[in-house]
Structure 1
Amino acid sequence: MNIMVLIETMVVLFVIMLIGYILNKLGILRAESNDVLSELIVKVTGPVLVVSSVCSTNEMTDKNQIIKIFFIGILLYVVLIAFSQIVIKLFCANDESKNIYSLMLVFTNTSFVGYPVLRALYGDYAIFASAILHMPFNVLIYSYGVYMIQNKGDLKRKFRIEDVLNVGVIAAIIALVIFLLGIEVPQTIQKILSMIGDITIPLSMMLIGSSLALIPIKYVFSNIKIYIVSFIKLIIMPLIAYFIANLFTSDSFIIAQLTIATALPAGSMIVMLTTQYKGNVKAASIGVFITTVLSVVTIPLMIYLLLT
């Protein structure tokens, strides 16, 4: 396991985010362009990446393991949502950004950070397995995530069917059908999906940087609660996941998937959706920025301590 390759991957993602910050300060990216980029990522490139990650991998060497990972993923997100609510009630009950903090604990950067990290450590098969593990992510981020973002206070808004029937959820369903039915996607279509989906990673990181450039720097260092949430997210959660996983399975690959999944920084999709649905973009951008920067150190540390 090459820790230096992992560190290099984290640094590259951070630099792309920094480029987005600089482009905004130079006036090349603006608030209006952030809205356009967000809509492009949320409605086009992000969903395409979900489908691409499933249909472009042929290394299904252990279908039983993949099926097991799928059901573990469902349980994982049930536990994450429950855990996030407990943490928020303990530390951020009266904070106006509590719903964003909750989403930070549930939805990690599974694709934009997770895929490069997994590829560096375990190869392409790990990316496919991660896509299956996080299949609930794609349903929940566009339903539960939007629900939380649009409720800036307590959960009072009635749930609507359109919260679920959107392009992100449809993409997740298509990906699951492709896997379960073993559909062979033509190489030409795979290449098209891959090229469009791969745009998501640099665009999302630049959007995070550009969004952060609109926030006075003092807010990044003045919010103590965001650092408490970040510590829980990056240190406490992977430790808990690692030891609980060891109680229920001896499969080292599944243990690694769960540990890495919970060690990742807050998902950049939170920024995309808060921008798209007019939520608390400032809190989301700061949370993603801080956890991403800290994860350059914490991810290699957690992997070194727990998985090597």
Structure 2
Amino acid sequence: MMIAIGYMLSWRKWFDEQSSRLIAKLVTQIALPAYMISTITHDFTAKRLLSTLPDLRFPVLSMLILFALAAVLIRVMQIKEEHRGLFESMFLNSNTVFIGLPVNMALFGNQSLPYVLVYYMANTTIFWTLGVWLIQRDGTHKQAFSLKTTLEKIFSPPLLGFIVGVLLVLFHIQLPQFILTDCSYIGGLTIPLSMFFIGIAIQRAGIQNVSLNRDSLGVLSGRFIFAPLLMTLLVLPMPVPILMKQVFILQSAMPVMTNAPVVAKLYHADEQYAAIMVTETTLLSLAVIPLLMMFVKSGFIT
């Protein structure tokens, strides 16, 4: 419903390109960091937070395997030369914030937040290093690697909000109640604004541009078949919390990152291909996510 409202308001010209950028900034730079601080300091202990850090190995290993698989599929499916870097980047990275966070919060509540953030840390690090390098390979505009820029992208406001929340818990620092209340109110904007943003993005990309070909079918298979299947195989036999397994499987099957078209435009790669894949995977996720929800809640994941 919230995605549909965002779509309709964009269609009615309430939102333009500048509005979409403003919402994205509000979510990632203001609302989400506040949400992290509010939720982590309220719901978690130092022991529980520290116990989640070793779980980083699962999303990292999964994405590295997906990277290798994408390289194979490029040759098998004869992906266009100018799309190969984008194909690999979109194949292995998922939208863990704008869709992954609200989906997991709706299904599992605040208890899933540490696992959502662990996956987010792995995903954002790999995207802004390996993923961006892959997209840059497709582009006509070459740019030297900048460690400073890369670190700024990795240590984004959401991750910094997470780190601040963790430090407050680890060192038993109690913020004044009025600050925590403000963080709670501001953080409450995260989920509805994220859903509005997705609706706006779908409307602006244009459903009429959706088409199925080898380049798009390969990305769809990566996001919704290979990624969740691989994550299931990795976590199912491991002696880790069931909630972690459920969250990781869902996070692995999220749509293409909304940053992909932005980075493609920066390096003069095929921005339209990236935007269409964001649209197609987001639309398809409306059907795939409920099916995955039933799967992870069915009792099969133990």
Normalising by the smaller structure, the TM-score range is: 0.7 to 0.9
For residue 11 of structure 2, what is the aligned residue in structure 1?
25
- What aligned pairs does 1:102-251 form with structure 2 within 5 A after superposition? 102-153=88-139, 157-166=143-152, 169-171=155-157, 172-173=159-160, 175-176=162-163, 178-179=165-166, 182-183=170-171, 184=173, 186=175, 187-249=177-239, 251=241
- Alpha-carbon distance in structure 2 between the residues aligned to 1:224 and 1:307: 33
- Would the alpha carbon gap of residues 224 and 107 (structure 1) be closer, same or farther in structure 2, given more than 3 Å must change? same
Q: CA deviation at 1:38?
A: 4.3
Q: For structure 2, which runs of at least 5 residues remain unmatched after alignment?
A: none
Q: For structure 1, which runs of at least 5 residues remain unmatched after alignment?
A: 1-11
- Alpha-carbon distance in structure 2 between the residues aligned to 1:197 and 1:273: 27
Q: Is the contact between residue 73 and residue 133 of structure 1 (CA under 8 Å) also seen in structure 2?
A: yes
User: Is residue 266 from structure 1 mapped to residue 256 from structure 2 by the alignment?
Assistant: yes
Q: Is the contact between residue 271 and residue 281 of structure 1 (CA under 8 Å) also seen in structure 2?
A: yes
Q: Is the contact between residue 96 and residue 254 of structure 2 (CA under 8 Å) also seen in structure 1?
A: yes
- Would the alpha carbon gap of residues 246 and 198 (structure 1) be closer, same or farther in structure 2, given more than 3 Å must change? same
TM-score where L is the length of structure 1 = 0.74
- Alpha-carbon distance in structure 2 between the residues aligned to 1:103 and 1:52: 32
Q: CA deviation at 1:57?
A: 3.4
Which residue type is aligned with residue 188 of structure 1? F
- Alpha-carbon distance in structure 2 between the residues aligned to 1:95 and 1:48: 42
Q: CA deviation at 1:130?
A: 1.8
What's the C-alpha RMSD, in Å, of the aligned pairs? 3.7
Deviations 1:63-90 (A, max 9, x none): 5641332343443444444444444454
Count matched residues: 294
- Alpha-carbon distance in structure 1 between the residues aligned to 2:114 and 2:85: 30
Deviations 1:93-120 (A, max 9, x none): 4253443333333332323332333334
Which residue type is aligned with residue 170 of structure 2? G
2:285 aligned counterpart, secondary structure? helix
Which residue type is aligned with residue 109 of structure 1? N
TM-score where L is the length of structure 2 = 0.75
Which residue type is aligned with residue 114 of structure 2? F
- Would the alpha carbon gap of residues 264 and 215 (structure 1) be closer, same or farther in structure 2, given more than 3 Å must change? closer
